[in-house]
Amino acid sequence: MAMKTNKGKEALFTEINITPLTDIFLVLLIIMMVVAPTFQSNDSSITIPEINSGVAIEQKNATVSVTKEGLLYLNGEPVTEENLTDKLIALKETLEKPEVVVKADERVKSAEIMKIMNAAQDAEYKKLIVAGEPLSKKEQKDLKKNAEKTEG
C-alpha cells in the first residue's frame, strides 16, 4: 500500500496496525477462559459426595467414636468390634432416625471405618454419616475417663 508524503514521493506504509490483532487475541483469551472449565476431566460414572459444611450433627443418632488407638465407643460407652452390631441393634429402637455417625481420629485407618460400616449394615441402619472433623485430644481423654468410670 502506497502513501503520499509531503514531498510528493510515494513511500511504503511499513507500520503494522496492532489494534485488530490485539482485539482478536483478547476475544480468543475470553473464549478460552469460558471453555476451559469444561475440559476438566469428569467421570460421569462417579458421583461426588456433597459436604454440608457448618451443619451440626444431631446428637440423637447413634454415634460411634474411634480413638487413634482403635478403641470404639458407642454414644460414649466403650464397645468392642464383636458386640458393636448387637449394641447398634439394641439402640436402634430408641432412635428417631436409624442413622450412625462415625467420628474418628485423623490417624485411624480406613479398615476400622469399614468395620463400623459393616456392623451398621448388619444392624440394618439405612444411613451412615462420617463426621468431617477428627476427634480432638480433649474428646479422646473424656471418652477414656468415662470408660474407666464405667469399668471401675
Per-residue pLDDT of 15-36, as tens digits, reads 888 898 999 999 999 999 988 8
Please state, as a whole number, how many other Cβ atoms lie within 10 Å of the Cβ of residue 21: 10
The three three-digit cell numbers of residue 152, written as one number? 471401675
Per-residue pLDDT of 84-107, as tens digits, reads 889 888 888 888 878 888 888 777
Q: Where are the domains of the chain?
A: 64-151
Per-residue pLDDT of 43-74, as tens digits, reads 443 343 444 444 555 556 788 888 878 888 88
- Cα 50 to Cα 113: distance, rounded to the nearest angstrom: 19
- Cα 51 to Cα 49: distance, rounded to the nearest angstrom: 7
